[in-house]
Structure formats: C-alpha cells, structure tokens
Amino acid sequence: MSTWTYSATNEANLMKQKYGKLIEKQFNAENVILGRIKKMQDLGGKGIHRPLIQSIGGGVGNGSLPTANENKVGLVKLENSKKLYAVVSIDRETMKRAKSDSDSFVRMTKFPVQIAVKSFNRNLTRQILKGNLDGTNVGSGELLKWQTGNTATSAAKVYFDKASTYDLALFEAIEIGDLLDTVDASACNAIVNADAEVVDMVIIDNGDGYAGTGTYIEFASAPGTAFANNDLLVMQNSYNVELEGIKGVISATSGTYKNITIGRRFQSYNKDASSAALSTDLLNDLVINIKRKCGESPDLLLTSYHQFIKLLNLLEDQKSYNLPARDKKFKGQISFSAVEFMSADGPIPVVPDRFMDADEVFALNTKHIELHLTQGGFEWFDDDGTVFLRESGDSYEARYGGYGELFVNPHFQGRLHTLAR
C-alpha cells in the first residue's frame, strides 16, 4: 500500500512564485568627464567662429625704435555639428501589460527611456574621450581595428587577441545588443556586415591592461565579409560622423583642428614615460609643464583603473580618514571616490575612467573643453507633443539626442603616455 506524501514537487501548483528586487545593472555607468566639461546651447546658423590669439603683438627692442610686428590671430571654426542619437522601440501591448507594479518589475513607459539615456551617455562619453582627429572635422568612429595576428574568425566569433595590441578600455565601448558596422579597409572603406548584433563578448584580462588570447566578440550570425587587416568596427551608421575627442586632440603633433594648425600655442604637452612606472615626479612634470605653457594648471587628472590602483599604492602614506565614510561630501587627500594630487597650485582631483587606456594619464583643464549644442541641448524628440512616436506597426518609438560639436583647446591640456603597465 502506497503512502501519499505532500511535498513541494507533488504540490507544485499550490506553491507561489516568489520574486526579489530587480537587479538593475551589471555595468559601470559613470560618465565623469561628461559632468565636468562646459555645455552650452549656443550653436546655430552656419556655426560659430571664435578668434584665437596665438602671439603677443608689438615689436620690442632697445636703443632705437623697434619695428612693429604681427599679432597672430587665428579663427576657430565650429561649423560641422554632429547628429547624436539613441532610439528605443516599445510594443504597444507590452506598454499596456506593464502599467502597474503588480504586473511588471518596471513600467514600460519609463524603463526603456531611462535605459536609452544611459546608453546615449556612455556612447557620448566614449566619443568625448576617445574620438580620433583626422583633420576633416570628424572622428572616424573606430571602436576596434582588426589586425593580422588575431586568432582566425570562428563562425560568428571574431577574435581581437593579438598580443599587446588591444587595450581593455576599447571593449568598454561595446555592450551586448549593440549593432555594429564593419569598415572594409581593402574596399575603399565600404561598409560591410552592417547592423551586426553583438550577442556575446569574452574579454581575457592579461593583467597588464591588454586583452589576452581568446578575447572575442560574437555576433548573431557569421560575418558575410571576412575580417581582414585594418578593417574597423564602428557603431551603426557612425563611420566618419562622430565627435573629435580629447585623446585625438591632445595627442596631435601636426595637422589642423577646427581651422587652426597644430603647433606652438595650439598644442598639448605630451610626456613620454618611456615605460617607467607612474610616479609623483612624472605627475609633477605633467602638471607643471602645462602651467609653464599656458599659465593655468589642470583641474582634473583622468586615469585608467589600472593606473589608479598604482596611484593608490603610490600614495598609501597620504590616505586620510578624518571624517566618517558615510559623509558623502568628504573628500580627503585620498578617498575611494577620488584622489587629490597636490600640485603647486593646490589639489587636483584624480578620477579613474573605464574608457582610459591602461598606460595613459590625461591632465585636463575642463574650463577649456566645451560641448556646443543647439537650443534644447540633449533632449527627447517631442516636437509632436509626445515622447512616444507611433511606428508603422503596433509599436512606438522614442528618440533621444541632439546636435553639437566638441571644442577642446589643446594648449591647456596634457597627456602622460607609455607608462609601465
């Protein structure tokens, strides 16, 4: 004779499903530089022209009257604004089914738009910091460059693991679900493998800031055109239409930028560390030489997390715990939200950023980094009276973005590069 036993398995239909709190994010959403630079809604008409004084006029000399000399004045031209977007699409039924807390963890009229702004900001921050400078008033949009020496592509897995080639910061620009284009270097930079969806990424940390063997990006399907040497990965529709970023501007030693020739009085101070370890001597060199050139000290030192760890170890004896950690306003000489480097002009905050290469430190004067935007700045496109715009099917689209141009005055900035990893 069998005996019936009440158990969780036998009475599964009587058991309730229990839910915990939503686990909100698995990513770093900090955008330090975006919060520090100037943002102005003054871009209109044909753009902005700004005179730039590059020399001190007036002939000088002793003994007899000198000859008057030229006061060199250049003209900075901000007249090639970039279109910056983020878009989300929401099914109408889903919006209806997720209108109350009892039906969904999130409101589908709120959650997607919040995520869109975060995604927009991370892509904008990446451009502001990493955008290159090619002399045509645009950034190429390069995320990764495939090179001979990588592991061969395997089906939908494209490897970026050539030794000492790919800084880990490069992969921070890409998230699961991003749609990427390939720029074919052998076919006059034609766009191939358009809108390829990223479904997985495996990043091997070598411990030196480089990606190690086995690092790959997996797409939803195998690339129709095989990757070859110098092919680029870019965000969808973004080749040669991105911002020229800080790294491109401050590392430039020739060419032009915003109609001004790179050179004395319009060039950043670059210090080659020659693979030396980060030290206070190198930081002093960087900060003091910037002041020597322009008369102002930087107000922000930006590092990779790799170098930030070294800096914390370097300044171990300067840590201060004078106030309780719960006081969010506290910022001692060393804290884990910021480090303050003591310069000749006073403390300068040192902040790590996920987009910074492992062997670099930027010394920035954020008063001379400006994001010029059209009226309204970055905003939801609600000119029709609503954020949600009806699509052709049974869904709505929300669009966020704006139009603007970044201007980095290189003379007030500096860069420490080729540090020991």
Per-residue pLDDT tens digits for 261-296: 999 899 999 999 999 999 999 999 999 999 999 999
Task: Please determine, for residue 325, whether its predicted confidence score (pLDDT) is greater than 60.
Answer: no
Residue 362: partners with Cβ closer than 8 Å, 6 or more residues away:
246, 247, 250, 300, 301, 302, 303, 356, 413, 414, 415, 416
**Amino acid occupying residue 361:** V
Average of per-residue pLDDT across 227-245: 95
> In angstroms, rounded to a whole number, what is the distance separating the alpha carbons of residues 375 and 41?
5
In the chain, % helix, strand, coil (3-state, to 5) comes to 20, 30, 50
* Predicted pLDDT of residue 62: 94
The vertex-223 CA angle with 231 and 204, nearest 5°, equals: 70
* Predicted pLDDT of residue 385: 86
Distance between alpha carbon 245 and the CA centroid of its chain, in Å?
Answer: 9
**Amino acid occupying residue 403:** Y
> In angstroms, rounded to a whole number, what is the distance separating the alpha carbons of residues 140 and 191?
13
Task: Please determine, for residue 336, whether its predicted confidence score (pLDDT) is greater than 70.
Answer: no
> In angstroms, rounded to a whole number, what is the distance separating the alpha carbons of residues 44 and 12?
65
* Predicted pLDDT of residue 344: 80
Distance of CA 161 to CAs 149, 280, 302, 333, Å?
8, 33, 26, 39
Domain ranges of the chain: 142-239
Nearest residue to 244 (alpha-carbon basis) of 414, 81, 386, 45: 81
Per-residue pLDDT tens digits for 152-206: 999 999 999 999 999 999 999 999 999 999 999 988 899 999 999 999 999 999 9
Per-residue pLDDT tens digits for 9-58: 777 887 777 667 766 666 666 788 888 899 999 999 999 999 999 888 88
Write out the two tokens for 269.
Answer: 């101070």
